[in-house]
Amino acid sequence: MKISVVTAVFDRSGTIGDALRSVAGQSHGDVEHVIQDGGSTDGTLERIAALATGATRLETGPDAGIYDAINRGIARATGDVIGLMHSDDFFAHDRVLERVAAALADPGIDGVYGDLDYVSAADPQRVIRHWKSGGYDRAKLARGWMPPHPTLYLRREVFAAWGAYDTRFRISADYDAMLRWLVRGNIRLAYIPEVLVKMRVGGASNGSLGRILRKSREDLHALRRNEVGGVGALALKNAQKLSQFVIRERRARA
């Protein structure tokens, strides 16, 4: 089973090395790392060149934003299974893609996901939030549930049948896409009950009050567009984040 890991990057010389090493260090034998660079000028391209392997597939040039870059990377991917590795993130351990391949050995499964740790940008060993996602049940979507997007790996047929990311969304195209795949596509997901990805805090969706408000508007549009719910589902989606901090505190004391 060939797995394509897609990374969209622009001027992330300080973190792209962790993402590259994380993918290159995976125990699964058939992996390609598709990197879509937006024309970095801060040393990112030099960092990629220094750490590239035979599995690295780099393309650089202007794009229309992160979701456009991701879509371009997906279009270039040749794997049977496709997932993302954001330029600030890294795998929790070296057997993540092995776990993904094992779960997708079941032909009745269309995709897999796991748990996610949000970590400090200054100290990636310090967990800020722990997202224990739990098993998939379509009824949970109306209560604001979704799988952690950075942990989601899908068969390429899902993208072919139901599309990639709608670039009219500037922040919540991932949420809209997941709802589309799960509701309209009725895809079948398997849950891997462990942390698969470490994600540095401080992403595009929560950088300012204006972006937080825009994300909320886009989330609400995605919920309504996919006929999942409305304001109530959005409120529950945001409320669920509180428990992630509680779980983190319990883990820290354990």
**DSSP for 171-191?**
S-HHHHHHHIIIIIS---EEE
Phi then psi dihedrals of residue 12, to 5 deg: -130, 50
Q: Output the average pLDDT for the chain.
A: 92
How many CB atoms neighbour CB 68 within 10 A? Answer: 18
Per-residue pLDDT, averaged over 209-238, amounts to: 88
Ordered domains of the chain (ranges, CATH) = 3-253 (3.90.550.10)
Spatial distance between the Cα atoms of 108 and 11, rounded to a whole number of angstroms: 40
Spatial distance between the Cα atoms of 210 and 208, rounded to a whole number of angstroms: 5
Spatial distance between the Cα atoms of 138 and 180, rounded to a whole number of angstroms: 12
Which residue has tokens 């549930």?
145
**Whether 80 contacts 162, CB under 8 Å:** no
Q: Determine the residue type at 214.
A: R
Say what percent of the chain tops pLDDT 90: 84
**DSSP character at residue 68:** H
How many CB atoms neighbour CB 72 within 10 A? Answer: 20
pLDDT tens-digit map of 68-102: 999 999 999 999 999 999 999 999 999 999 999 99
pTM over 0.85: yes
Spatial distance between the Cα atoms of 45 and 148, rounded to a whole number of angstroms: 28
Q: Determine the residue type at 148.
A: P
pLDDT tens-digit map of 188-199: 999 999 999 999
Question: How wide is the angle at C-alpha 63 spanned by C-alphas 60 and 64, nearest 5°?
Answer: 165
